[in-house]
Amino acid sequence: MFKKIDHSDKEARAYNWALFATILLLLALIIQTPARVAAKLLPLAVRNMVTDWGGSVWRGQANIVYQGFAGQLRWSLLPAKLLTLKLAADIEWLSPHSRLKTQAQWGMGQWQLLQLQGDVSPLELQAILPDWRLPPQPLALEQITLKYQQHAWTQGQGQIQWQGGAVDYVLNGQQQKINLPAITMDVTHQNNNLVLTMVEQQTRAKLALFTVTKDRLQSQLSQRLLAYSPNYRGVAEPDAIVVTTSQPWNSF
């Protein structure tokens, strides 16, 4: 007896392979597109910050100028991550005063930064905090991992080290001054929020707690922290929380 050949099954398999090959071809063409061509799809505000593009969508760089500070953003896509329905890239930021590197992932209603590390110049932070004045010592970011999914922080870990110094900052719309000691900021997450705990490097004594929600920054400042402010005259136990605020992000 001869086995009957199922032509419809063969045609379905051939169609699936043809579709798979077509998708791979399209992906290959897209990732080889020059970065300066693909940049036309970005919002105008982003394009206006870029003075030059180099490389391709797959691996390239962009020279950026923002609020008088200049640097270069480099990226390298990770095509294998597309199999998990995520867009991922190794990213590096280089400037005269800062250097950062991380792996970023987007997709499935979430974004994630993995193993973010490097040094950030406070001078460049003032580009996004124009009313603040920070000392020149760089902030050291150590193995920071963040995940934001469906309007909630679902992962947070790592540390930020800073040697401190004289800081002018804005709290509840008012300008404040403080002389910070060397500090460590421990990054964690709790109850779908990102939690930053500030402690003294030498003693690990707690100074402040910052909770990052979807659209607000909640701050709890201790007596120990405010004692470093030259104009503060409050009296309380060192660990007592003496100032609590909640500010929308657009107030900074």
Contacts for 43 with CB less than 8 Å, ≥ 6 apart: none
Distance CA 161, CA 159 (A): 7
Model pLDDT, residue 166: 93
The reported pTM is 0.81
Nearest to residue 213, comparing CAs of 238, 242, 248, 187? 248
Contacts for 48 with CB less than 8 Å, ≥ 6 apart: none
Q: What are the beta bridge partners of residue 168? A: 133, 177
pLDDT digits (tens, 9 = 90+) for 190-205: 999 999 999 999 999 9
Query: What residues does each domain of the chain span?
Result: 56-248
Model pLDDT, residue 2: 45
Nearest to residue 93, comparing CAs of 73, 69, 112, 118? 73
Model pLDDT, residue 11: 66
Model pLDDT, residue 105: 96
Q: Tokens standing for 6?
A: 């199922």
Model pLDDT, residue 4: 52
Nearest to residue 199, comparing CAs of 144, 161, 171, 235? 161
Model pLDDT, residue 249: 73
Low-confidence ranges of the chain (pLDDT < 70): 1-32, 172, 250-252
Distance from CA of residue 176 to its chain's centroid?
26
Contacts for 85 with CB less than 8 Å, ≥ 6 apart: 107, 108
b/e code 38-59 from CB counts within 10 Å (16+ = b): eeeeeeeeeeeebeebeebbbb
Nearest to residue 192, comparing CAs of 145, 142, 158, 155? 155
Q: How far is CA 123 from CA 34, 41, 128, 218, in A?
A: 32, 31, 10, 24
Distance CA 127, CA 243 (A): 27
Q: How far is CA 42 from CA 47, 56, 93, 129, 176, in A?
A: 7, 15, 19, 24, 38
Model pLDDT, residue 190: 93
